[in-house]
Amino acid sequence: MTSCCSRPVAASQAVLPVAIIGAGPVGLAAAAQLLARGIAPLVLEAGAEAGHAIRAWRHVRMFSPWRFNTDAAARALLAAEGWAEPDPETYPTGGELLDRYIAPLAASAALRDRIRTGARVTGVARRDFGRLHDGDGRDAAPFILHVETCCGIEAIEARAVLDCSGTWGAPNPAGSHGMPAPGEARHADRIAYGIPDVLGAERATYAGRTTLVVGAGHSAMNAVLDLVELAKAAPGTRILWAFRRPLGAVNFGGGARDGLARRGDLGARAQALVESGAVTALAPFLIDSIAQADDALAVSGRQLGRTRTELAHRMIVATGFRPDLSFLREVRLGLDPAVEATPALAPLIDPNLHSCGTVRPHGEAELRHPDTGFYIAGMKSYGRAPTFLLATGHEQVRSIAAHLAGDSAAARRVELVLPETGVCSTERPAPGAATACCAPAAVASAPKGGCCCG
Ligand SMILES: Cc1cc2nc3c(=O)[nH]c(=O)nc-3n(C[C@H](O)[C@H](O)[C@H](O)COP(=O)(O)OP(=O)(O)OC[C@H]3O[C@@H](n4cnc5c(N)ncnc54)[C@H](O)[C@@H]3O)c2cc1C
């Protein structure tokens, strides 16, 4: 890996590289897939090391086992260097994913000179074409990326761009309207977004205090389970858990029916905690404002039309993530207005349409944007939908690499078998329901485990 101002690849190449934004697991898999097809990748990573976002959740155990967490082309690169592949049936923590897979992959002879760390992409455009400008050659023009390094802003050209920058840097707020609640930014020093390490590095911050956890997904479940564990050892630790919906409408997952046993177990254990009263559920609780009240936060909201205020020393906001589109202002994007995924992908993952966490595998065709050669892949490709799996991201970049190499048959082929969630409740028919996960037509053609209704 090279950092900051060094220019390892692009300057000497007759053919422009494919730029990959982000050296997370999907960005690195994209690089490996491109290399396997003889295409030069250039990975631009904002953090100091590959896997920068995962460093923040090192302590969290993943709900998918190793066999779903690594990419085939990446494994081939690692195998060439004598990599000891982890037991495919065990579940790594984020830290183990970093240490046993991401770090060795980024340091591999094939990739290390193709990754630039400390390189944050701040803008993407087509060379000489702003977003508005049509004209001869727009589609053939290379992309220009503005990259912020310790030396300032550098312009890098690329023949195609894969934005694999994830969503970790853009968490959803606690405010019920999707905007930060009044007071949320002001009291940010007492609010954690994601899953803080309450049993490790941040134990002292949460022990013996009242914490309000906001959100209903796996991150919130992990945070609540850790806090309950902490409460066993630290008297006075209290947990409030706020949901947007009434408890009866909360989806705790497929339990024993989930194809990923650990994911099913996580939901089942979280539900049991609520039912046992070990945590106080506020459901529904729609947060309107956050203010100071002596040494605590006064969190005000609405519960079934009545105003309610809860006191908590800390908040953990785990309400999901959204894509940062700010540096893509000059790219012609095609995005669903609600999900912020491509219009072809959005109906497959929109939680308003169905609760199938299991998504029909998809690739280059579903991920295209109006500006040809530009793709969003990985976690960010799902926009605001919460059900992304690494295995899905690996299939996405395999297909995109095949397309960029001119192998359209391989780009269209589905090579992924996804685990089922064990949950499926179509709330209203999806537009184009024949392609949605729950649709009978999809059941017939889906690979084993590719549809949760199969
Ligand atoms: C706590 C947690 C647990 C999860 N557990 C699982 C699981 O068990 N199984 C599973 O399949 N999935 C899981 N996921 C979901 C998902 O697979 C992970 O979030 C995964 O890290 C996504 O990979 P990614 O490469 O798309 O994005 P990331 O891992 O977020 O990587 C994106 C990279 O891009 C960099 N970046 C961001 N902006 C820029 C920029 N402007 N310029 C340059 N670089 C930039 C970041 O620093 C980061 O290194 C989990 C997610 C979380 C948060």
What's the rounded mean pLDDT across residues 421-437?
47
Q: Is residue 125 part of a domain?
A: yes
Q: Which of 62, 120, 197, 321 to mutate to test the pocket of ligand 1 (most atoms within 8 A of CB)?
A: 62
Task: Note whether 18 and 146 are same-domain residues.
Answer: yes
Average pLDDT over every residue of 92-105:
98
Instruction: With a cut of 90, say whether residue 336 has pLDDT above it.
Output: yes
Instruction: With cut-offs at 50, 70 and 90, classify the pLDDT of residue 417.
Output: confident
**Closest ligand 1 atom number to CA of residue 50:** 49
Measured between alpha carbons, how far is 101 from 95 in angstroms, rounded to an integer?
10
Kindly tell me if the per-residue pLDDT of 322 is higher than 50. yes
Decide if pLDDT at 437 tops 50.
Answer: no
Domain boundary among 266, 300, 317: 317
Kindly list the protein residues whose Cβ atom lies closer than 6 A to any atom of ligand 1: 21-27, 44-47, 51-54, 57, 60, 62-64, 68, 120-121, 164-166, 168-169, 195, 219, 327, 378-379, 388-390, 393
End-to-end CA distance of the chain: 44
Q: Which atom of ligand 1 is nearest to the CA of 120?
A: 42
Supply the pLDDT for residue 177: 97
Residue 156 above 90 pLDDT?
Answer: yes
Over the stretch 390-413, which tens digit does the pLDDT of each residue have? 999 999 999 999 999 999 999 999
User: For position 309, which CATH number holds?
Assistant: 3.50.50.60
Closest CA to 173 of 296, 64, 321: 321
Last residue of a domain, which of 286, 317, 348? 317
Residue 358 has pLDDT above 80, yes or no: no
**143, part of any domain:** yes
| Average confidence (pLDDT) over 320-329 | 98
Alpha carbons 407 and 84: distance in angstroms, whole number: 31
Pair 354, 311 in one domain: no
Within a domain: 181:
no
Q: Grade residue 443 by pLDDT with cuts at 50, 70 and 90.
A: very low
- For residue 44, which atom of ligand 1 is closest to its CA? 43
Pocket-testing residue among 390, 395, 418, ligand 1, by greatest number of atoms within 8 A of Cβ:
390
Q: How many CB atoms lie within 10 A of CB 196?
A: 23
Residue 448, in any domain of the structure: no
Q: Return the ligand 1 atom nearest residue 391 CA.
A: 11
Range of the domain at 73: 2-169+322-441
User: Cα of 209 to ligand 1 centre, how many Å?
Assistant: 30
d(CA 450, CA 416): 8
Please report the atom of ligand 1 found closest to the CA of residue 379: 26
In a domain, 304, yes or no: yes
Q: Are residues 42 and 81 in the same domain?
A: yes
Kindly indicate the confidence band of residue 435, based on its pLDDT and cuts at 50, 70 and 90: very low
Residue 52 Cα: closest atom of ligand 1 = 49
Do 223 and 371 sit in the same domain of this protein? no
CA of residue 238 to ligand 1 center, whole Å? 30
State residue 427's pLDDT score: 45
Cα(334) to ligand 1 centroid in Å equals 22
Indicate whether 74 belongs to any domain: yes
- The count of domains in the chain is 2
Using the predicted structure, report yes or no on whether residue 453 has a pLDDT greater than 70.
Answer: no
Tell how far the Cα of 132 is from the centroid of ligand 1, in angstroms: 31
Residue 79 alpha carbon to ligand 1 centre in Å:
24
Q: Which residue's alpha carbon is nearest to atom 13 within ligand 1? A: 389
Are 18 and 163 found together in one domain?
yes
Mutate to test the pocket of ligand 1, among 121, 156, 165 (most ligand atoms within 8 A of CB): 165
Pocket test residue of 43, 63, 117, 168 for ligand 1, highest count of atoms within 8 A of CB: 168
Assess whether 57 and 145 both reside in one domain: yes
pLDDT tens-digit series, residues 204-260: 999 999 999 999 999 999 999 999 999 999 999 999 999 999 988 888 877 778 888
Mean pLDDT score, 312-332: 98
Token pair in block for residue 85: 């592949």
Nearest by Cα to 278 from 310, 234, 232: 232
The protein residue whose alpha carbon is closest to atom 38 in ligand 1 is: 165
Quote the ligand 1 centre to 367 CA distance (angstroms): 18
3-state secondary structure the chain: CEECCCCCCHHHCCCCCEEEECCCHHHHHHHHHHHHCCCCEEEECCCCCCCCCHHHHCCCECCCCHHHCCCHHHHHHHHCCCCCCCCCCCCCEHHHHHHHHHHHHHCCCCCHHHEEECCEEEEEEECCECCCCCCCCCCCCCEEEEEEECCEEEEEEECEEEECCCCCCCECCCCCCCCCCCCCCCCHHHEEECCCCCCCCCHHHHCCCEEEEECCCHHHHHHHHHHHHHHHHCCCCEEEEECCCCHHHCCCCCHHHCCCHHHHHHHHHHHHHHHHCCCEEECCCEEEEEEEECCEEEEEEEECCEEEEEEECEEEECCCECCCCHHHCCCCCCCCCCCCCCCCCHHHHCCCCCCCCCCCCCCHHHHECCCCCEEECHHHHHCCCCCCCHHHHHHHHHHHHHHHCCCHHHHHCCCCCCCCCCCCCCCCCCCCHHHCCCCHHHHHHCCCCCCCCC
For residues 46 and 142, membership in a common domain is answered with yes
Which pTM does this prediction carry?
Answer: 0.92
Residues 158 and 240 grouped into a single domain: no
| One domain for residues 239 and 292 | yes
The last residue of a domain, from among 317, 340, 364: 317
Lowest mean pLDDT among 115-119, 145-149, 415-419, 444-448: 444-448
Looking at the fold, whether 306 and 352 belong to one and the same domain comes out as: no
Distance 64 CA to ligand 1 centre (A): 14
Q: Are residues 147 and 12 in the same domain?
A: yes
175 inside domain: no
**How many whole angstroms separate alpha carbon 391 and alpha carbon 90?**
16
When the pLDDT of each residue in the chain is averaged and rounded to a whole number, the result is 89
Atom nearest to 392 CA in ligand 1: 11
Quick check: is 106 in a domain? Answer: yes
- Residues 338, 299, single domain; the answer is no
CA nearest to 236, candidates 210, 213, 202: 210
